[in-house]
Structure 1
Amino acid sequence: MKKRFGIALLGCLLLIFTTACGAGNDKTTLQLAEVTRSLFYAPQYVAIEKGFFEDEGIDIELQTTWGGDKTMTALLSGGADVALVGSETSIYVHAQDSKDKAINFAQLTQTDGTFLVAKEPKPDFTWDDIKGSKFLGQRVGGMPQMVGEYVLKQHDIDPHGDLNLLQNIDFANIPGAFSSGDAEYVQLFEPTASTFEQEGEGHIIASFGEESGSVPYTTFMTKESFLNEDEETVKRFTKAIHEAQRWVEAHSAKEIADVIQPYFEDTEKEILASSIDRYKNQGSFASDPVLDKDGWNNLKAIMDEAGELPEDVPYEDLVNTTIAEEVIGNEGG
């Protein structure tokens, strides 16, 4: 009798201990798909490394899906709960009459993140210098290419008439193609642009982000069904992102580089810091997660100018600011 009682008591103690421990480690796992691995997304990596997601009870499983199409496929098929990708992709999905819309709920970057890099030094560069050149462009229909064309047109340059525009190289292979090929100009993200400059393979001569103005370049989005079913988790996710945005705004480029170094192990920390500093100086990192209407309209204008706007989707159809505004409103509480 005593033996059975002792076994039963031990079992109860183990159950209580296990339950108590489990309660303390009860986390929501979220599959997060990023469209590419980019220094442009520094606040996201800060949110992970500084434990801001963990503070909100979220365990992030990050995957890099390498391309807008693949990222949206992952999101819509259930391979990801949240996607970090260009807002234009939500418009493309909407135009295909998707039953489950992709809703933009938190903005991460608010300018284009590419820089114009030339093979040769251009100390007296003017945009007219590009005319007649071989220009290695980005993927058709993607934000880098659309912003690039938009900026060129603002400088009275016809991208398809005044340039020998190359658009047949995959995103991941563009740096190598520029380095080994005969293109005179290319659009590159950081830290690749600064690395090329350091190694003498290219020279940064202009910023497309500074030229194009505010635009919701990369945002976090999720399916409308997920948002409706688990709004609280999306809210906690947004709180973590906003905490990271505030941290990035308050800290130096070097401090940020120290935190996100694990995501860019092949890049020297000095290059990371200088690249982050360049993004900070031109206001690329959004200071809060609210995607405003002016930015959305600028996005559609850029897409329309490039001939890639399939339909005029109202701001209210694909953008949810309620969660982000609530997060900002409660940040002091």
Structure 2
Amino acid sequence: MRKKGFIVSFIAVLILLSACNQETTTKIKLAEVTRSIFYAPQYVALEKGFFEEEGLEVDLQTTWGGDTTMTALLSDGADIALVGSETSMYVYAQDSKDYAINFAQLTQTDGTFLVAKEADEDFSWEDIKDSTFLGQRVGGMPQMVGEYVLKENGIDPHGDLNLEQNIDFANIAGAFASGDYDYVQLFEPTASVFEAEGQGHIVASFGEESGVVPYTVFMTKQSFMEEEDDAIEAFTRAIYKAQQWVDEHSAEEIADVVAPYFEETDIEMLASSIDRYKSQGSFATDPNLDEKEWNNLQEIMEKSGELPENVPYEDLVNTDYAERVMSE
């Protein structure tokens, strides 16, 4: 009888421990602006169990576009959003009472490449004058950085090009492949896939041309940050672990980990895309978003005519979480 009683007690303890573990797990709804190898550290955090180590259960959804991603965040369809930090400025300028705060940076350069329909081994920016250029959504980071780079190279996007911006973000690649366009901005791995299939040729990198900016950032509403302070810190810690892991491992190793998120892309193509981003420093190695990057972003937005107003760094950026996890 004593043995039976011991077994019953042991089982009860296991059930109690299981219940405690469930109670300490925080569920996070995470919305990403698009599915891209550009966000490799995020997928590493998911696949390597870094979120689980921090007591988080993260549900990832792809919301396709800055507007829809921010709508999901503001309407509580998402707790945290991975999106361009310019979207937080747009919301702030509308005098929102519960605006979004940037707390952890994931990428620190533009992630697009200039893809030409025809091969051009001796490409120069002058070559795109009078061409038909399939641009990105007005007000989005790719479009603003694209126009900034063109202007820095002496090209007037609206005067020197036949610039078309009437295609939804998710359909840009397909439109370029089937349409009569000379140039387009594409993320990886799409740019490399197009090159491999002979549908386009990478001739320049917007990331290399534009410098360091807080291109893609994790943000959340003020109210959620106040209510779930511990969860935001845990989330930031998991991202930092992933950033360090990506920095310390090869493109091939990273590709093996994130491959489940890109089932239709060849593993070697993924590795090539990751290597391209690593070589130009696109992946931030820590989550801290510094003021110099923020000011560079506002300059890019201002030159593209999309900056609604100058937004103080301290109003929309919280580096407390990044600084704490980096100091541990």
Which TM-score band (shorter chain)? over 0.9
**SS in structure 1 at match of 2:167:** coil
- Distance between the aligned counterparts of 1:295 and 1:36, measured in 2? 22
Give the TM-score of the pair, scaled to structure 2. Answer: 0.96
Q: Which residue identity lines up with residue 150 of structure 1 in the other structure?
A: Y
1:228 CA drift (Å): 1.3
- The answer for unaligned runs of 5 or more in structure 2 is none
2:159 corresponds in structure 1 to 161
**SS in structure 1 at match of 2:115:** strand
Tell whether 2:200 aligns with 1:197: no
The equivalent position to 1:186 in structure 2, one of 171, 178, 184, is: 184
- Distance between the aligned counterparts of 1:69 and 1:9, measured in 2? 58
1:22 corresponds in structure 2 to 19
Q: Which residue identity lines up with residue 64 of structure 2 in the other structure?
A: W
2:296 corresponds in structure 1 to 298
Q: Which residue identity lines up with residue 315 of structure 1 in the other structure?
A: Y
1:54 CA drift (Å): 0.6
- Distance between the aligned counterparts of 2:6 and 2:83, measured in 1? 53
- The answer for unaligned runs of 5 or more in structure 1 is 1-7
2:81 corresponds in structure 1 to 83
2:313 corresponds in structure 1 to 315
The equivalent position to 2:111 in structure 1, one of 110, 113, 118, is: 113
1:16 CA drift (Å): 4.2
1:231 corresponds in structure 2 to 229
Q: Which residue identity lines up with residue 19 of structure 1 in the other structure?
A: L
- Distance between the aligned counterparts of 2:251 and 2:102, measured in 1? 28
- Distance between the aligned counterparts of 2:261 and 2:219, measured in 1? 22
The equivalent position to 1:137 in structure 2, one of 135, 138, 141, is: 135
- Distance between the aligned counterparts of 1:329 and 1:68, measured in 2? 32
1:24 CA drift (Å): 3.2
2:271 corresponds in structure 1 to 273
**SS in structure 1 at match of 2:110:** coil
Equivalent pairs: percent with the same residue? 70
- Distance between the aligned counterparts of 1:115 and 1:9, measured in 2? 65
2:149 corresponds in structure 1 to 151
Q: Which residue identity lines up with residue 19 of structure 2 in the other structure?
A: G
- Distance between the aligned counterparts of 1:301 and 1:119, measured in 2? 31
**1:165-197 superposed Cα distances (whole Å, 9 cap, x missing partner):** 000000111111111111000000000000000
- Distance between the aligned counterparts of 2:80 and 2:52, measured in 1? 16
Number of residue pairs matched by the alignment: 324
- Distance between the aligned counterparts of 2:48 and 2:221, measured in 1? 27
Tell whether 2:105 aligns with 1:124: no
Q: Which residue identity lines up with residue 153 of structure 2 in the other structure?
A: H
The equivalent position to 2:61 in structure 1, one of 36, 56, 63, is: 63
1:110 CA drift (Å): 0.1
Superposed, which structure 2 residues align to 1:196-275 within 5 Å?
196-275=194-273
Give the TM-score of the pair, scaled to structure 1. Answer: 0.95
Q: Which residue identity lines up with residue 81 of structure 1 in the other structure?
A: D
Q: Which residue identity lines up with residue 264 of structure 1 in the other structure?
A: F
Q: Which residue identity lines up with residue 310 of structure 1 in the other structure?
A: P
